[in-house]
Amino acid sequence: MKFDTILEYQDLDRELLSVENEVAKSPERAAFVNAKAKLEAATAAVGKLSHEAAELLAGYGRLSSRAEELKAKLDEFDGILEGVADVNEADYYIRQIASISEEIASLEKDASKDGERIDAIASEYKKTWEVGRKASDAYKEAHAAFNAFASKIQPRITELKEGLAKLEKNVPEEFMTAYKSLRAAKKTPAFVAYKPESGTCGRCFMEVSGATRSKLKNPGDHAECPNCRRILYIPEE
């Protein structure tokens, strides 16, 4: 009969959706998703700390190197004032020495802060690594539990998909195109019986237009519901 195959396909597909929803909404999957999120967060935290530590170490190295350069430059001024008679020249050297000394003090202060932060990161890293290790163990356990649960249902999913593939070969292209479009829009069932006694859609229960009713007079007729866009049909004897 005209609608038998698409209706059988629809019933099988609705069962597949139900089974897939069972998997998607299962406690096992929820636990797996939660464990995965925690592992990803821990991994990101470890990566962030590693990146910060690398930048601090590089900066610490630059600060130390600059401080050594300035100290060497300061050494050049050692004893230079002893042979200076001109007050202005002496004032110049004094200001240069003071400026270099201030910069060295500032660099050492910054280096000290960076060193403290590096030490703090090392401590945080150990804690975060431990959190990550536990998260990894929890993820592996949750993943195994989910796989075990899913493996019990997978044979039925495979069976349903194989059944759908066989049926699809015998469904008119017009019906299959309409069905897939409605399914993608989450409008299932896509094919519903028309209620001629009330002139309403068998799914949204809204009254259809006169133009639509005129297309639905005899068994085997079908038309699109103007309200929900599903395909209305009149069952054949």
* pLDDT over 60 (residue 107): yes
Least confident range of 61-65, 157-161, 191-195, 208-212? 61-65
State whether residue 185 is helix, strand or coil. coil
Q: What is the pLDDT of residues 182-223, one digit of tens each?
A: 999 999 999 999 999 899 999 999 999 999 999 999 999 999
Q: What is the pLDDT of the chain when averaged over all its residues?
A: 87
Q: What is the pLDDT of residue 116?
A: 83
Decide which of 109 and 179 is more confident.
179
User: Which pLDDT does position 122 carry in this prediction?
Assistant: 84
Distance CA 221, CA 231 (A): 10
CB atoms within 10 A of CB 159: 13
Q: Which residue has the higher pLDDT, 68 or 183?
A: 183
pTM, full prediction: 0.69
23-153 is classed in which CATH architecture?
A: Orthogonal Bundle (1.10)
H-helix segments, the chain: 4-24, 27-76, 87-168, 173-184, 210-213
Position 101 confidence tier, pLDDT thresholds 50, 70, 90 = confident
**pLDDT at res. 113:** 82
Residue type, 105: A
Q: Which long-range contacts (CB under 8 A, 24 or more apart) does 37-42 make?
A: 38/135, 38/138, 38/139, 39/132, 39/135, 39/136, 39/138, 39/139, 41/135, 42/128, 42/131, 42/132, 42/135, 42/136
Domain ranges in the chain are 23-153, 175-233
The pLDDT of residue 121 is 81
User: Of residues 236 and 42, which shows the higher confidence score?
Assistant: 42
Q: Nearest CA to 66 among 92, 95, 105? A: 105
Radius of gyration of the chain (CA): 38
Please give the full DSSP string across 116-136, using - where no structure is assigned: HHHHHHHHHHHHHHHHHHHHH
Please compute the mean of the pLDDT values over residues 72-82 and round it to a whole number: 67
